[in-house]
Chains A and B, each alone.
Chain A
Amino acid sequence: DAGVTQSPTHLIKTRGQQVTLRCSPKSGHDTVSWYQQALGQGPQFIFQYYEEEERQRGNFPDRFSGHQFPNYSSELNVNALLLGDSALYLCASSFNFEGATQETQYFGPGTRLLVL
């Protein structure tokens, strides 16, 4: 059983460009959350997708957007990249049961984004 997978593993972009990161959830999971982890810091919640809609959002600007597909996979898009967007982007999947996300979230290995 494959766990959470993310692509690409590494990415280098320049300021002002746009980037798309991809995530496939663990089998049987229907909810995807995205986190940003700057070097030396804990992950910060960006947003969560369930039933192809953004269900909750953290304190991130509109430059950060996402999408969830019918097969539950998800994309994170970042427009107008800034140097400060350089970070590890983590995807986590979980299962929603009776309106509540179950306790355990499974994280992928992340995508390392470097903005020059």
Chain B
Amino acid sequence: DAKTTQPNSMESNEEEPVHLPCNHSTISGTDYIHWYRQLPSQGPEYVIHGLTSNVNNRMASLAIAEDRKSSTLILHRATLRDAAVYYCILKWSSGNTGKLIFGQGTTLQVKP
């Protein structure tokens, strides 16, 4: 399973954009990049995923480097509710069982 590297923690001010980086230099061509987050006392929740092109949804944007060795999760306006542990996960999608391999994640603190 390919590995991801994320900073242990980051801080942001409320209503400012947040860029959460993830390095995945050993990514293979069939690996999708997934982001999940885990709010305090809850199970993880899906945020976004992509393969090569940048992706947007109602929660966030995902910017993928051209060589796919890194990606950035972008929260456009952080709120206090966005304080969570964010996990960057590589998942082989085609014909697989969907097993998720979590790393340590990035703990995001949002200051009012």
Q: Which residues of A contact B (CB under 8 A)?
A: 4, 31, 33, 35, 41-45, 48, 50, 55-56, 58, 90, 92, 94, 99-110
Contacts and interface: CB of A to CB of B under 8 A. Distances in A.
A43 B100 contact: yes
A17 to B, nearest CB: 25
A43 B99 contact: no
A101 B101 CA distance: 15
Contacts of A50: 97
A87 to B, nearest CB: 13
Interface in B16-60: 32, 34, 41-46, 49
26 contacts: A4-B43, A31-B97, A41-B104, A42-B87, A42-B104, A43-B44, A43-B100, A45-B100, A48-B97, A55-B97, A56-B97, A56-B99, A58-B99, A99-B95, A100-B93, A100-B95, A100-B98, A101-B97, A101-B98, A103-B98, A104-B49, A105-B98, A106-B45, A107-B42, A109-B41, A109-B43
Interface residues of B, number: 25
Given A92-B43, A107-B44, A100 B96 contact: yes
A94 B85 CA distance: 22
B44 A103 contact: no
Contacts, number: 69
Given A100-B93, A103-B32, A107-B42, 11 more contacts: A4-B43, A43-B100, A48-B99, A55-B97, A56-B99, A100-B95, A100-B96, A100-B98, A103-B91, A104-B49, A106-B45
A67 B66 CA distance: 43
Dominant secondary structure at the A interface: strand
Contact of A107 (B45, B49, B99, B105): B45
B89 to A, nearest CB: 9
A56 B99 CA distance: 8
A2 to B, nearest CB: 14
Contacts of B101: 45
A110 B2 CA distance: 26
